[in-house]
Amino acid sequence: MFDLPRANTHKERNNILWRLHIDLPLLFGLIVLLSIGLAVLFSAVGGETDQVVKQAIRIALALLAMFVVAQVPPRVMQLWAIWLFLFGLILLVLVIVMGDVGKGAQRWLKFGGFRFQPSELMKLAVPLAAAWYFSDKALPPRILPLILGFILIITPTLLIAAQPDLGTSLLICSSGIFVIFLAGISWRIIGFLAGSLAAFLPILWFFLMHEYQKQRVRTLFNPEADPLGSGYHIIQSKIAIGSGGLMGKGWLNGTQSRLDFLPERTTDFIFSVFCEEFGLIGVLVLLTIYIFVIARGLYIATQAQDTFTRLLAGSITLTFFVYLFVNIGMVIGILPVVGLPLPLISWGGTSLITMLVSFGILMSIHTHRQLLSK
Amino acid sequence: MIPDPRNPIKDHISETSLFVTRTVVAFLLVVLMLGGLVVRLVYLQIVKHENYETLSEKNRISIIPEAPTRGLIYDRNGVLLADNLPSFSLELIPEQIKSFDQTLALIKELINVSDDDVENYHKLRKRERRFKKIPLKRKLTEQEVAVISVNQHALDGVYIEARLQRHYPFGLAMAHVLGYVGRINVEELARLPEAQYRASRYIGKIGLEKHYESILHGDVGYNKVETDALGRVIRILEKTPPVPGNNLYLHLDSDLQLATEGALAGRRGAVVAIDPENGAVLALVSNPSFDPNLFVNGIDTKTYSQLRDDPDMPLFNRALRGRYAPGSTIKPALAFLGLQHGVITPSWEIMDPGWYSLPNDDHRYRDWKKWGHGKVDLETAIVQSCDTYYYELAYRLGIDRMHKGMSMFGFGTKTGLDIGEEASGIMPSRDWKRGAKQEPWYPGETLITGIGQGFWTATPLQIALHTAILSHHGVGYKPQLLASYETSEQFFHREKVPLDPISTQDDPNWTIVLEGMRKVVHGLRGTARTAFQGSKYVAGGKTGTAQVISIAQDEEYDEEKIALRHRDNALFVGFAPYDNPKIAVSVIIENAGHGGSEAAPVAKQVIDHYLLRP
């Protein structure tokens, strides 16, 4: 249908960055977002440098991880995908059996003094495994591989949902779903699945969701019902965003965040800080950069040379978008508070490393292409 | 790639095309969904911007009121009567204290802290935010303040807080004039202007403190501050300092007040001294009294019930609310009314056999002198306080003219002294009796009224005012305590308030009755001559000995037999100097017996102090 022009591969190959397996446009987008993240963090913590320096170190480490991963050729990833996935699955089971309890949910595994969240690993392992699974199937997939692929995705999803960690399980599920979608599942089946999902929602609500999760959903629709309790986050967040207006209050001048009204302002609600200080204009600029990164990711996917890499690249990029959409959606009060960070901007190490490692995969995919002669 | 026999053949061209299509669809969806977010953001940041901006400001800005300093009260010579003294308390900020037990142990090494204090602290702490100061111990002594201050460096989160607290240096002597302030209670809170009293802790409860609350209180100040989500103050944005309350300057003479209190020597009673030239209240004493300082921070129940249940009623303001029969003290004024209405003349005489009876009635109205005064003219009637003469005079005047005339002297209505709380007393009349007793007026009651007894009651303040009016030839002034008050910019003087004059000032009848009063004090047979023997000025006066209970017909009045509380009240009214009165005094001593021997010496001391003080 589309036949996009190939990049000037000769020129690219001579580039030093190419040899280092770095995709410059992607790196540029990421650096800009990470820098914005540091600036907003500096404001959100009240102008202190300690946390900002810490975060900068994390970013440096994560970027390093990205470069390392970018050196790994995709075919190696393809070889390791299923083993990584199985390893992750075992860890998930271990979490359920003997995990550490933090914030009312079992998410952590302890190795000595080191705590580890297996679900982070699965964020990479699931799209890898799904892409691996569909890579040697004829596409669009037939019904049997589709079902098997679906089981492959839903198993870790349910294990993580049982921790319970709704946000991550949602992400992991969607990363797998994207693989299936990009693999070319027919629109009829998509329609059917969407219908089933709609039918499943009441079951989810009445039988599977925890009370605190239900409370979050209720709060979403009526935050004012409990302004000092569960609705407080959303109300204060909306005040921060709304009071930012078109131009914003200016960097370091956000009163909502600097005066502690805004909870979780360095992590889940950092977007509110951004909106308050930089206004709608700033938001549009920020979203444009995000779209640029997403577009570059999808472009990389279209340029990939085999099924595995293109499915993987597409899934990684779209999952990145899900982060973005869910986080902003919850912060502006149209999605329930599920506790997902704003990608590349929110404070915190684990998700950042996972995220940049996945971008490392993208770079690897893009820079390990074989030169094809037309 | 080698085709897998289990799988259909992979078609790379169509797969690529399918993938690109899907990717483009996905990208379009991404853009569409982000567009949805932007729509929502536009709604929040543009459409509802003002709304959220207001909410944000409201979040951020708090108004913290600051209580004004209460105005001080001075007497006429600038002596401080009501002061604001710092009261020190030990206060802790919980969030700055690492371990309460450790800190408490440190404090206990330095000063005494009772278990009650600690318990109280914990109670308050639970109610307050963690960054607010919470008192652990109040009313620190100077020594305690010093000890804590020296060790302050070791006591993080421990503070000595100085708060201004009302103090009445004269204590009991001024209680019935000044009243006192106390903590604002729930009812007052509901009635007060909320904004003005946001930060205030005290309010005038009674006396001048209550009457001049609006002048004394001052205007509340505001600090517009930026606070964080917990209400902790981050910085002050705007400061509107409180305007201190105005200082009051009274006509009252604290020296005279103390001398008056001393003259009463602990006896139950009241003394009011007024300057006849302007109505200035120079002294106002009601004995016994109480310490107003007890009430400032809330009096404990035990002390309060002791005061309340004391049979001598120290809380009762006798000068303003005590209703006493004025007795013979009103005789000069009544004589003036007789002269004014022409029912008597100065030379007109009666024969006093020691009693009087109405025509066609054999009830005998007795004179205090059992065997009578013999021939009595007006002057003798005043000087010797002849009851029989006044029975006849009252009979001739009739109750209607007596009521009207005596009302002009201020009886039966509140004087309007700027404390409030006054009783109006009773100046009886036909109307009054019909209203109060549903009975007609009986002629005998006119006679009793003629000697200041019967239904007639008056407050010491009213009696003093009547004396002032009399001494000033019928031109009186409303009694006032406040002379002036001082705002930050200027002084406001209170003008004297003239009352309706009774006759003209040069009416010769004034001289006639006042001459009688002079002889009460200085005459050979005056009822108060002993008290005023050797006085260095010329005064005028009138004694009174008022019955507290009525004596049955033909019953002997025997002082010895009558219970203490049923003995006569001793009264005296006086003024001096005679030609140009500067002070008019009323004295009432409860159950003390004779006015001449008990009340007149008190008046003499008061007048002496006022006129002869160096």
Residue A220 identity (one-letter amino acid):
L
Give A371's pLDDT tier (boundaries 50, 70, 90). low
Q: How many CB atoms lie within 10 A of CB A353?
A: 19
Higher pLDDT, B113 or B82: B82
Q: What is the pLDDT of residue A321?
A: 95
Q: What is the pLDDT of residue A136?
A: 85
Chain A residue numbers with beta carbons less than 8 Å from the beta carbon of B52 are 238-239, 241-243
Phi, psi dihedral angles at A168 (to 5 degrees): -65, -40
Convert the pLDDT of each residue in A266-321 to its tens digit: 888 899 999 999 999 999 999 999 999 999 999 999 998 888 999 999 999 999 99
Secondary structure class of B449 (helix, strand, coil) = helix
Distance CA A118, CA B331 (A): 109
Phi-psi region of B420 (alpha: psi -120 to 50; beta: other; left: phi over 0): left
Distance CA B63, CA A352 (A): 42
Q: Does A330 touch chain B (CB under 8 A)?
A: no
Convert the pLDDT of each residue in B426-465 to its tens digit: 999 999 999 988 999 998 899 999 999 999 999 999 999 9
Q: Chain B, 193-252: which have a CB under 8 Å from a chain A CB?
A: 226-230, 234
Q: Work out the average pLDDT over A106-113.
A: 65
- Asked if B15 and A307 come within 8 Å (Cβ–Cβ), the reply is yes
| Lowest mean pLDDT across A18-22, A279-283, B330-334, B582-586 | A18-22
Q: Work out the average pLDDT over B470-488.
A: 92
Q: How far is B18 from chain A (nearest CA, A)?
A: 6
Convert the pLDDT of each residue in A351-366 to its tens digit: 889 999 999 999 999 9
Q: What is the pLDDT of residue A292?
A: 96
Q: What is the pLDDT of residue A230?
A: 59
By CA distance, what is B37's nearest residue in A? Answer: A329
Convert the pLDDT of each residue in B122-147 to its tens digit: 887 877 777 777 888 888 888 888 88
> Has residue B7 got a pLDDT over 90?
no
> Has residue B315 got a pLDDT over 80?
yes
- Asked if A301 and B234 come within 8 Å (Cβ–Cβ), the reply is no
DSSP codes, A173-188: HHHHHHHHHHHT--HH
Q: What is the pLDDT of residue B135?
A: 84
Q: What is the pLDDT of residue B614?
A: 72
By CA distance, what is A325's nearest residue in B? Answer: B34
Exposed, middle or buried by CB within 10 Å (0-12, 13-18, 19+), for B51? middle
Rounded alpha-carbon distances, angstroms, from residue B612 to A121, B61, B361, B576? 104, 63, 52, 11
Phi, psi dihedral angles at B518 (to 5 degrees): -60, -40
Convert the pLDDT of each residue in A247-259 to its tens digit: 988 888 887 777 6
Q: Does B24 touch chain A (CB under 8 A)?
A: yes
| Lowest mean pLDDT across B52-66, B314-328, B476-490, B569-583 | B52-66
Rounded alpha-carbon distances, angstroms, from residue B171 to B168, B183, B212, B250, B291? 5, 18, 19, 17, 5
| Average pLDDT over chain B, rounded to an integer | 88
Instruction: Give the residue among B539, B509, B25, B18 at the shortest CA–CA distance from B273.
Output: B539
Q: What is the ipTM of this complex?
A: 0.89
Most A CBs within 10 A among B10, B13, B19, hence the mutation to make, goes to B19
> Has residue A87 got a pLDDT over 50?
yes
The fraction of chain B above a pLDDT of 90, given in percent, is: 53
Distance CA B585, CA A10 (A): 121
Convert the pLDDT of each residue in B540-553 to its tens digit: 999 999 888 655 44
By CA distance, what is B42's nearest residue in A? Answer: A280
Q: What distance lies between CA B599 and its chain's CA centroid?
A: 26
By CA distance, what is A245's nearest residue in B? Answer: B45
Using the Cα atoms of residue B69, residue B73, residue B74 and residue B80 in order, give the sign of their dihedral: negative
Q: What is the pLDDT of residue B549?
A: 63
What are the DSSP E strand ranges found in B491-555?
Answer: 491-493, 540-546
Q: What is the pLDDT of residue B558?
A: 60
Instruction: Give the residue among A312, A287, A288 at the shortest CA–CA distance from A301.
Output: A312
Convert the pLDDT of each residue in B21-39 to its tens digit: 999 999 999 999 999 999 9
**Residue B112, C-beta contacts closer than 8 angstroms, at least 6 positions apart:** none
- Asked if B41 and A283 come within 8 Å (Cβ–Cβ), the reply is yes
Q: What is the pLDDT of residue B1?
A: 45
Distance CA B360, CA B363 (A): 9
Cite the DSSP H helix spans in B343-500.
378-383, 387-408, 430-437, 443-450, 460-471
A138, A142, A245: residue with CB nearest B53:
A245
Q: Does B49 touch chain A (CB under 8 A)?
A: yes
**Residue A331, C-beta contacts closer than 8 angstroms, at least 6 positions apart:** A237, A241, A268, A269, A271, A272, A342
| Lowest mean pLDDT across B55-64, B197-206, B504-513 | B55-64
| Lowest mean pLDDT across A73-77, A98-102, B65-69, B597-601 | A98-102
For chain B, domains (ranges, CATH) are 64-250 (3.90.1310.10), 254-294+315-612 (3.40.710.10)
| Average pLDDT over chain A, rounded to an integer | 84
Q: Work out the average pLDDT over B28-57.
A: 91
Q: What is the pLDDT of residue A229?
A: 59
> Has residue B9 got a pLDDT over 80?
no
User: Is B52 in contact with A242 (CB distance < 8 Å)?
Assistant: yes
Secondary structure class of B175 (helix, strand, coil) = helix
b/e map of B224-243 (b: 16 or more CB within 10 Å)?
ebbbbeeebeeeeeeeeebe
Q: What angle in degrees, to the nearest 10, is found between the helix axes of A74-98 and A350-367?
A: 160
Q: What is the pLDDT of residue A12?
A: 56
Give A162's pLDDT tier (boundaries 50, 70, 90). confident
Q: Work out the average pLDDT over B392-410.
A: 94
> Has residue B8 got a pLDDT over 60?
no
What share of residues in chain A are helix, strand, coil (percent, to 5)?
70, 5, 25
Q: What is the pLDDT of residue B56?
A: 82
Q: Which two tokens stand for residue B127?
A: 């109610």
Q: What is the pLDDT of residue A53?
A: 92
Chain B residue numbers with beta carbons less than 8 Å from the beta carbon of A277 are none
Give A115's pLDDT tier (boundaries 50, 70, 90). low
Give B61's pLDDT tier (boundaries 50, 70, 90). confident
> Has residue B70 got a pLDDT over 80?
yes
- Asked if A261 and B42 come within 8 Å (Cβ–Cβ), the reply is no
> Has residue A1 got a pLDDT over 60?
no
Q: How far is B93 from chain A (nearest CA, A)?
A: 20
Give A163's pLDDT tier (boundaries 50, 70, 90). confident
Q: Does A61 touch chain B (CB under 8 A)?
A: no
B10, B17, B46: residue with CB nearest A138:
B10
> Has residue A374 got a pLDDT over 50?
no
A238, A301, A321: residue with CB nearest B30:
A321
Q: Work out the average pLDDT over A14-18.
A: 73
Q: Does B146 touch chain A (CB under 8 A)?
A: no
**Residue B322, C-beta contacts closer than 8 angstroms, at least 6 positions apart:** B270, B286, B316, B423, B459, B460, B588
Instruction: Establish, for the pair of chains A and B, how many residue pairs have beta carbons separated by less than 8 Å.
Output: 153
Distance CA A360, CA A373 (A): 26
Distance CA A160, CA A172 (A): 9
Q: Work out the average pLDDT over B307-315.
A: 91
> Has residue A244 got a pLDDT over 80?
yes
DSSP codes, A187-240: HHHHHHHHHHHHHHHHHIIIIIS-HHHHHHHHHHH-GGGSTTTTTHHHHHHHHH
Q: What is the pLDDT of residue A3?
A: 42
For tokens 């691996």, what's the residue?
A: A132
Convert the pLDDT of each residue in B327-370 to its tens digit: 999 999 999 999 999 999 999 999 988 889 888 888 888 888 88
Q: Work out the average pLDDT over B189-197.
A: 79
| Lowest mean pLDDT across A128-137, A200-209, A330-339 | A200-209
Give A226's pLDDT tier (boundaries 50, 70, 90). low
- The domain ranges of chain A are 23-71+223-369, 76-209
Convert the pLDDT of each residue in B194-206 to its tens digit: 778 877 888 999 9
Q: What is the pLDDT of residue B361?
A: 81
Distance CA B123, CA B125 (A): 5
Q: Work out the average pLDDT over B392-420.
A: 93
Instruction: Give the residue among A129, A139, A185 at the shortest CA–CA distance from B8.
Output: A139
